[in-house]
Structure 1
Amino acid sequence: MPSAPLIVPVEGTVAHSPEGPLLRLSRRLDGHDTFLTGSLDIEDSSVPVRILTLDDVTVLRPANSFPAPADGEHWRGRLHLPHGLRPRSIPPDLNAAAHQGGRSLDALDEAELRYVLTFLSEATTADIRHARIEAVVCALPATTGRTR
């Protein structure tokens, strides 16, 4: 379960898009990548933002209009994450399926584990989650000395 609210100092540059300003962080926001919203204290305002974390970059998209700095300009602020850190533990159903299938979850690097956990968390039904777990387990290498 997520922990207490968290405040993270952030900085980056501004890029303007047809949908409005995008605030690109200078560092990927690791461990917080599935939070959809937060609040950014920037200059003299608090702006609700949508947090978009991709492979190697995190972008904040303001939910409301605010006077964004010019394109390419550097900015600093504090990002409030209302739900704290996202745990990166392997869920019991995935762990059990991998063990039963003789597959190794240790083969997943940090980015792959993040993708798997996001993939599973976005399943909308138990059947979809089960199918996704099967797909993940089938893609894992066999554990040493055991085959399926």
Structure 2
Amino acid sequence: MLQHTVNLPVTGRVESAPSGPLLVLTERLEGHDTFLSGSLDLNGCQLPVRILTFDDLTVLRPTALAELPEKDTRWTGILSLPHGLRPGAVPADLAEAAERAGRSLAALDLQQLRYALAYLGEASTEAIRQARIQVIVSALPEEARTP
């Protein structure tokens, strides 16, 4: 289910893009889920954002209209990640479901596994968690069977 919120002090600059303003972090986020939602406390205002971490930088894209500093302005804020840190280990219920189905979690590379675990970790109810386990397991390749 949902993990504890993590609050990170962040700094960055405002950039413009055709889709609207972007908040580019000074330092790339490491060890946190990306392409998920969060909230940035910017000067006491809560700004919902989409977190986009690429190879060399992290960008926050506001998901609601808000007054932002002007382009190239430096800013400081607190980024709240409701999904917490990336999960490190495969939870027992997922591992057991994969084993029962004859599917292999080992076929996933580290990035795919982190994505699947983050997806599972954001489940807000047990019913949603079970449905997400089924989705993940059904997407896994079947384990090679020995004759």
C-alpha displacement of 1:38: 1.1
C-alpha displacement of 1:21: 0.8
Residue 10 (structure 2) aligns with: 10
Instruction: Please point out which of 119, 136, 147 is paired with 2:140.
Output: 136
C-alpha displacement of 1:66: 1.4
Would you say the 8 A contact 1:39–1:80 is kept in 2? yes
Equivalent-residue separation in structure 2 for 1:97 and 1:61 (angstroms): 36
C-alpha displacement of 1:15: 2.2
C-alpha displacement of 1:93: 3.9
> How many residue pairs get matched?
137
C-alpha displacement of 1:65: 2.0
Q: Specify the SS of the correspondent of 1:70.
A: coil
C-alpha displacement of 1:135: 1.8
Structure 1: state its 5+ residue gaps: none
Would you say the 8 A contact 1:29–1:58 is kept in 2? no
Equivalent-residue separation in structure 1 for 2:70 and 2:137 (angstroms): 44
Residue 67 (structure 1) aligns with: 68
Equivalent-residue separation in structure 2 for 1:99 and 1:132 (angstroms): 12
TM-score by length of 2: 0.63
Equivalent-residue separation in structure 2 for 1:64 and 1:83 (angstroms): 23
- Note the aligned Cα RMSD (angstroms): 3.6
Percent identical among aligned pairs is: 36
Residue 51 (structure 1) aligns with: 50
C-alpha displacement of 1:106: 4.8
Paired AA for residue 20 in structure 2: G
Residue 39 (structure 1) aligns with: 40
Equivalent-residue separation in structure 2 for 1:24 and 1:76 (angstroms): 11
Change (3 A) 1:135 1:35: closer
Describe how 1:99-114 pairs up with structure 2 within 5 A. 99-100=99-100, 101=102, 103=104, 105-106=105-106, 108-114=108-114
- 1:12-66 deviations in Å (ceiling 9; x for gaps): 333212332111223035324365231332xx44241212234534321232321
Would you say the 8 A contact 1:6–1:81 is kept in 2? yes
C-alpha displacement of 1:108: 4.2
Structure 2: state its 5+ residue gaps: none
TM-score by length of 1: 0.62
